[in-house]
Amino acid sequence: MSTPNSGSIIWDDRAKAYIQIILDAFPFYAILLDEEHHILLANKATSEALGLQADEIIGKYCPRLIHGMAGPFPGCPLEEAVTTKKSVIREYYDPHTEHWLESSIFHTSFHTADGHTVYYHATRDISEKKRNAIKIRQNYEEQAILLSLSRLALEKVPLKNLLDRALDLLLSIKWLELESKGCLFLVDPNTAELVMSASFGLGEYVRNECARVPFGRCLCGRAAKTQQSVFASHITAEHEIQYSGISPHGHYCVPMVFEGKTLGVLNTYTVDGHHNNKAEDDFLKLFANTMAGLIARKRTEDELEQSLENLRKASDGMILAMANIVEQRDPYTAGHQKRVARLACAIALEYGMSAERIEGMRMAGIIHDIGKISIPAEILSKPGRLTALEYSLVKTHSQIGFDILKDIDFPWPIARIVLQHHEKIDGSGYPQGLQGNDILLEARILAVADVVEAIASPRPYRPAIGLDKALEEIEGKSGLLYDAAVVGICLSLFREKEFKIDL
C-alpha cells in the first residue's frame, strides 16, 4: 500500500487553478485522486463537509480521511474503476445519515509524476430523487390496484369471490409493510356483529375465534363501532381475543363505511413493533372506502338482479363509484364529471333526444374521465403547466376509459362515447382524429359540455377563466372544432334560458 502524500499531478499552476475553479462550482463532493487513493484536489463542498482546509486534505489517503479505514473498503468504486478500466457509477444507502448517495468515478487524461492515472470522483446526495421515485412507484401500484378493483366490480361474480380477490390484491402490494395475512369482515345486519367473510394466511384457531366479533370487542370491533381506523404496534390488553402461543404482531383495522353505515372492517397484520406509517394508513383507508362502495354496489346488484329498472340503478351506483375513484385521485376536478353530465343532458334534451338516450348520455358524462385513474396523481394535480410528455400521458385517458368500459354490456354505446369525447369536427382531436358525423352525437355534445365546464372552473395551474370566456371559446370555433348545432343549443341554454353550471 502506498503511503499518504505520494504522487503529484503533471500540470502547470494555471491549469490547476482552472480545474480548481471548475471543481468548486459543483455543490456536491468533487475530488481528484490517483489510483492509489491519494487526494490530489478537492472542491469547497468537500472541504466544508469535512470541516478541513485544503492543505489538510490534499495528499491524504482517501480511505483513511473519509472512511476512517486503513485500506479500501469492500466494493470500493475506485478499485473497480482501476481494475476494469471503466467508469463506475453506483448508488448506495448510508444508514448513518439515512441518505441515498450516488458515487461516480471517471478516468481523466492526467497522470501523476510517478505515472498513476488520475480519477475524478463525485458524490451526490440523491435522497430526494430516490424518495420521489419511490413515491411514483407507489402511486403507480396504487393506481393499478384501484383499476383492478374497478374492473373486478364490473364482473358478475359472487360477493365472496370479490372479497377473496380484493384481499389477494391488497396483500400483493410490495411497498406496504404488511404480513402476508389478513381478513375482511362484513357486518351481519341482524346481530350487529362482524362476520369473517374472506381471509388469507390465518390459522384455523384464529378463523374460529374471530369468526364473529361483536361491535366494540377487540380492535376490529372498535373500528366497526367508532368508524375510525385502529392501529396497534403490539398485542396489548385491547387485543381482547388472545390465546396461548399467540405470535407477537400488530394491526391496521380499517372500517369500510358507505353512506354513514359500517359495512365491514379490513384487518391487516404487521410485524411486532411496526410504526404507524401515514402512507400505508392513507392507502388502506382509500382501499377500504373503495371496497365499501364495491360491496354496497354488489349487494344492490344481487338484490335487484331480476329487475331491469333496479339493475339500472345498480349500474348507476357503479358508475358513481367509478367517478368517485377518479375524483379521489384528482381532487381539483372533483364534481367536474357530474357537472359535465348535467350540462350534456340539458343539451341533449333541447336537441330532442329520447329519455332513454339521454340516460345513456348522463352515464357517459358521469364517467367520461374514468381513464384518469391510470394517470399519476402528481400529474393530475400539478400546479404548473404540463410538459409535453405529461400531456401525452394525460391524453391516453380516453383510450384507457374505452378499454375499461368496452366489455360492459350497457344498453348505450358508453365506451365509444368516452373514447370520442375529445374528438373535434375538423379531425384535430384525439385519439382517432375523427371528423364530422363520424363522431357520435353524444360525444359531440360531451365535447362541448366538457370544454365549457373546464374553462369556467378553476384548475391547479390557473383560476377559473369564467363562463363568458367559455362561451366565447365554443362560439368562436363553432363548426370548426365543435358541432355547430350543439354549440347553438348550449349558447341558448346559458344566454336565453339562464342555465347554471353550479360550480
Domain boundaries, the chain: 13-125, 145-301, 305-495
Q: Is the N-terminal amide bond of 77 cis, ω within 30° of 0?
A: no
pLDDT at 109 (0 to 100):
84
H or E segment to which residue 456 belongs: helix 441-456
- In this chain, the answer to whether the domains covering 145-301 and 305-495 adopt an identical fold is no
Q: Report how far residue 288's alpha carbon sits from residue 250's, in angstroms, rounded to the nearest whole number.
A: 18
CATH of 13-125, one of 3.30.450.20, 3.40.50.970, 3.40.720.10, 3.30.930.10: 3.30.450.20
Q: Which residue in the block uniquely carries the three cell numbers 344481487?
A: 302
In tens, the pLDDT along 417-438 reads: 999 999 999 999 999 999 999 9
Helices 278-303 + 127-154 axis angle, to 10: 10
- Residues in the chain with pLDDT < 50? 1-7
Q: What is the pLDDT of residues 179-211, one digit of tens each?
A: 889 999 999 988 889 999 999 999 888 888 899
HEC string for 274-336: CCCCHHHHHHHHHHHHHHHHHHHHHHHHHHCCCCHHHHHHHHHHHHHHHHHHHHHHCHHHCCH
pLDDT of residue 2: 41
pLDDT score at 10: 63
d(CA 346, CA 319): 19
CA 292 to chain CA centroid, nearest Å:
20
Q: Which CATH code fits 145-301?
A: 3.30.450.40
Instruction: Tell how many helices (H) and how many strands (E) occur in the chain.
Output: 19, 11
Please state at what angle helix 355-366 crosses helix 336-351, rounded to 10 degrees.
160
Query: What pLDDT, on a 0 to 100 scale, did the predictor assign at position 221?
Result: 94
State the Cα–Cα distance between residues 3 and 189, nearest whole angstrom. 80
Kindly state the DSSP code that residue 432 receives in the 8-state scheme.
Answer: S
Judge whether 449 and 470 are in contact, CB under 8 Å.
Answer: no
Q: Measure the CA–CA gap between 325 and 366, rounded to whole angstroms.
A: 12
Domain 305-495 has CATH 1.20.1260.60: no
What gap in Å lies between CA 63 and CA 340, rounded to an integer? 65
pLDDT at 352: 95
Predicted local distance difference test score (pLDDT) of residue 136? 63
Q: What is the pLDDT of residue 16?
A: 83
pLDDT for res 134: 64
C-alpha to C-alpha distance for 398 and 392, rounded to whole angstroms: 12
pLDDT at 439: 97
- In angstroms, the CA 271 to CA 161 distance is 28
Give the angle 439-501-448 at the CA atoms, nearest 5°.
15
Give the total residue count for the chain.
Answer: 503
C-alpha cell at 401: 376509459
* Whether 121 contacts 105, CB under 8 Å: yes
Listed residue (244, 200, 241) closest to 220, CA to CA: 241
Question: Looking at residue 1, what is its pLDDT?
Answer: 38
Q: Is 9 helix (H, G, I), strand (E, B) or coil?
A: strand
Burial 424-452 (b: 16+ CB within 10 A, else e): bbeeebbbeebeeeebbbbbbbbbbbbbb
pLDDT recorded at residue 353:
95
Q: Locate 71 and state its grid cell.
A: 485500506
Structural contact between residues 26 and 123, judged by C-beta atoms closer than 8 angstroms: no
